[in-house]
Each structure stands twice: as structure tokens, then as C-alpha cells.
Amino acid sequence: MDIYVKFVSSLIIVLVLAYAIKKKGFLDNCGILCSSAMAFIILMGTNLNWLIIMVCFLVFGSLVSKVGYSKKNRMGISECKRTIKNVLANGSLAVLIVLLYSFGIIEYNTALFGYIGSISAATSDTFSSELGVLSNETPRLITTLEKVEKGTDGGVSLYGTFAGIVGAFLIGILSSILFNNYNLIWIGTISGILGNLSDSLFGALLERRGIFNNEHVNFTCTLVGSLCAIALYLAVI
């Protein structure tokens, strides 16, 4: 595609997407600006299929955040709109991977699997945290298995873990359809779960002690998911 045509078409898609996000209230204004810039980079560096995966994460995350909203609100852990911090923590690594691929630093499949792994991990973590708190099950700290309050950093539950598996699998299955690569199903799912578990682990070890904040932990989650996906791709395929 001619670079000018791609530039104009990418700009149009980003503007339409920004309007839709604004209309649905998925992000605040700063989040919309940041996500628009990220979407433009993804489109210019790759193609629409890559952006669709990122948009699916945003939509899925926003939808599950609204599930049981009144209960979350009573617990003091509800979130109306995601902010620029959420956008950067969950999406900046994926954009970095696109840039590395665009400049020829990494090859296509490494970029693709790393990209899917990072988004799968972010989705898995979002599903676990947003749906896990709705369970009547008492969560346990991932490092010691002691019972903790809901919403505690590093707390895990069977229900939340299962929700995370569903989130990772959704990204895996959508990726396999869009990129016609069935290996993305199992690699996306496994790497997403591992990234999710690392989020809980770093939450227990570092966030509870004030060494990391929530955004640091979320970024680490996507990094682990990405590296696991690349490792599985290089080792098995």
C-alpha cells in the first residue's frame, strides 16, 4: 500500500475509533489521546488485524469492569473509566514490539507472538481482577496461601484464575482466526495465564511493599506474557 494512502486510511480509522471510545466511555480524554497515538503506530507499522486484537482487549476489559459494578462500588474498587496510566501500563509493550518490528530489529513471527502474548496477559489479568472479586470465595495470597481480603495485591482465587484463563483463551482464539495460525491459540492462552500469575506474584512481593505500583505490575505482566510467547514460539515451532 502506498505510504500516503496508508497514512490517510490509518488516520481515518484512528479518528473513528477515538470517537467510538469516547461515545462508549471506555477511556478518559487523556486515555483516548494516548490510545489513539498507539493505534496509529500499530496501523502504520503493521495492519488492521493487529489493531483489532488491541481493540478487543479494550472492549473486553471495559465490559468485564462493568460486570457487578454496584458490588464493586460498595467494595470501593469500581472503576468508571480507564486512564492514561492503564493505557500505558497495558499497551506500551505491544506498541514497542510493533516499533521494533517496523525498524527491522525483530522478525515478523517474533513480533507477532510477542505482541499476542502481551495482550493475552493483559486480558487475562483484567478478567481475573474484575471478575474474581465477585466470587464468594476468599482469596489467598499467591506466595503463602494465607487468606486475604478481596482486592489484596497478590491475592488469587479459583474463580479469578478460571476467569483469567477464559480471557487469555479469547485473545488466543481471535488471534488464530485473524492471523490464520492455530499455534496462537495455545501459545496465546499459556503465555496469557503465565503473565497473569506473574502479576499476582509481583503484586504480593513488590506492590504490597510499595516497591512497585499497580502500573509497574501491569507492565511486568505484559512483559512476562510476551517473553513466554516468544520463548514458546522459538522452542516449539
Residue 104 burial by Cβ neighbours in a 10 Å radius (0-12, 13-18, 19+) = exposed
Neighbours of 79 (CB within 10 A): 15
Cα–Cα distance measured from residue 48 to residue 46, given in angstroms and rounded to the nearest whole number: 7
Nine cell digits for residue 14: 484512528
Which helix (H) or strand (E) covers residue 168, if one does?
A: helix 158-179
**pLDDT in the model for residue 66:** 85
Residue 33 pLDDT > 70: yes
Residue 111 pLDDT > 80: yes
Query: Cell 497514512 appears where?
Result: 7
Helix axes 214-236, 84-102, angle to 10 degrees: 30
Model confidence over 130-185: pLDDT tens digits?
Answer: 998 888 899 999 999 999 988 889 999 999 999 999 999 999 999 999 999 999 99
Most confident of 25-29, 82-86, 129-133, 163-167: 163-167
Cα–Cα distance measured from residue 4 to residue 80, given in angstroms and rounded to the nearest whole number: 38
Across 8-25, average pLDDT: 95
AA identity, residue 13: I
Residue 78 pLDDT > 90: no
Spatial contact of 124 and 192, defined as CB atoms under 8 Å apart: yes
Helix axes 158-179, 183-202, angle to 10 degrees: 140
- Residue 79's pLDDT band (boundaries 50, 70, 90)? low
Of residues 49 and 77, the one with the higher pLDDT is: 49
